[in-house]
Amino acid sequence: MDSIIVTGGGPLSGQIPIAGAKNACLTLMPATLLSEEPLTLTNAPRLSDIRTMTTLLQSLGAEVSSLQDGHVLALSSHDIHNHKADYDIVRKMRASILVLGPMLARDGHAVVSLPGGCAIGARPVDLHLRALEAMGAELDLRDGYVHAKAPGGLRGGTFEFPLVSVGATENALMAATLAKGTTVLKNAAKEPEIVDLADCLRRMGAQIEGDGTDTITIQGVERLGGATHRVVTDRIELGTYMLAPAICGGEVECLGGEIRLVQAFCEKLDAAGITVEETQSGLKVSRKNGRVRAVDVTTEPFPGFPTDLQAQMMALLCTAEGTSVLEEKIFENRFMHAPELMRMGARIEVHGGTATVTGVEKLRGAPVMATDLRASVSLILAGLAAEGETQVNRVYHLDRGYEHVVRKLSGVGAKIERIKET
């Protein structure tokens, strides 16, 4: 397997372009199943997860073409001839469940395997299913597949999510666009990716109000048309690269970054002593003097601190002055990066969903192993601040969510290289 070698060095300087959002694009792509007309997505990220979703959609009969070096995706679902999302594809990525709502809404039936993805907790799909049932779907779980049907089509209904779920909100939102009547989704997710999906669906002719709040109202329409839509900036990649100069010093401008996407995260950086400034092109992040200060972090649904930046933030706090407490409230089993950081000299104690980090003067380079997507990049960030060489193994996780990470970091002065499997 490939590995990444990071040699800790001096401060960083320069610009890093931020890609389109992986989590937004993976939701926008299944929206093609709602219409017979073409959907074009610009600012698409070039990631293995995008290729997996492409394979899944093509297996259903959709046409997907990658244009402009992968930054533009042209999709068409005029001929959906297969309504079964097979385990061999779906097991690779949890976002695969997002084909369920659109297929069910458009054609009244679908069979979708229970999904896979990073091993960061159970993340059950029951909320997806319960929301669809509220719209009249008939569901049967057997042999590892969800067998869904709505012989007379979906109908509008009201569903209150007992827990905020981004994926379930997205699935229900897409399904409701073609349901008969009005659907109201309460305690809905507010993430920018939800707003981005709603914007795209409106361009296709959907009638949606309230996205970005906890109550979304959808008036179903008979059909949706085609559209061209630009994928929103990836706020998790943005936050990740904002942490690079925070960890090892210097000044980096993240092109395309917006404060509104990472407000809660920026507040924690400010408390730690990191400067964030808006520019005409994005966000400039700098750390000039001394160690960062310890801060406490609790992950929450948007607009709170993102769970997908928790591992990276922990890497920063490993060298902070003082003791920080990180509380993970979104996913269980999401501190698997902690033992690897401890191999580098970090002082971390984990008890259930809480990690206590006591900062040290310096981390030490060591061989470490990535356990999931965000953990992998947290170890790379830690390596930037460590003395000596850090070898991050099992970096195939990284390819699911970060394009050209070596090129982007080396472009601002990091000493980093990828070693190909021989």
- Count of beta carbons in the 10 Å neighbourhood of residue 82: 13
Let me know whether 198 and 254 are in one domain.
Answer: no
Let me know whether 213 and 260 are in one domain.
Answer: no
Q: 120 pLDDT exceeds 60?
A: no
Give helix 166-176 / helix 100-107 axis angle, nearest 10°. Answer: 10
How confident is the model over 255-275, as a mean pLDDT?
Answer: 97
Let me know whether 211 and 300 are in one domain.
Answer: no
Query: Residues within the annotated binding site for phosphoenolpyruvate?
Result: 22-23
Residue 400 vs residue 352, higher pLDDT? 352
Query: Residues within the annotated binding site?
Result: 22-23, 94, 123-127, 308, 330
Provide the pLDDT for residue 124.
Answer: 65
The upper half-sphere exposure of residue 166, i.e. CA atoms within 13 Å in the direction of its Cβ, equals: 24
The total number of structural domains in the chain stands at 2
Q: What is the CATH number of the domain that holds 73?
A: 3.65.10.10
To the nearest whole number, what is the mean pLDDT of the chain?
94
The upper half-sphere exposure of residue 276, i.e. CA atoms within 13 Å in the direction of its Cβ, equals: 25
Let me know whether 249 and 365 are in one domain.
Answer: yes
Dist CA 102 CA 333 (whole Å): 31
Let me know whether 95 and 175 are in one domain.
Answer: yes
Let me know whether 312 and 221 are in one domain.
Answer: no
Q: Is 118 a catalytic residue?
A: yes
For residue 321, which phi and psi values (nearest 5 degrees)?
-85, 110
Q: 145 pLDDT exceeds 60?
A: yes
Q: Which amino acid is at 261?
A: L
Percent of the chain with pLDDT over 70: 97
Q: State the pTM of this model.
A: 0.92
Provide the pLDDT for residue 21.
Answer: 96
Calculated CA dihedral for residues 188, 194, 197, 201, nearest 10 degrees? 30
Dist CA 109 CA 220 (whole Å): 18
Q: 176 pLDDT exceeds 80?
A: yes
Let me know whether 7 and 41 are in one domain.
Answer: no
Picking from 214, 229, 244, the residue at the C-terminal end of a domain is 229
Let me know whether 310 and 386 are in one domain.
Answer: yes
Per the structure, the complete domain to which residue 224 belongs is given by 22-229
- Catalytic residue of the set 118, 200, 254, 318: 118
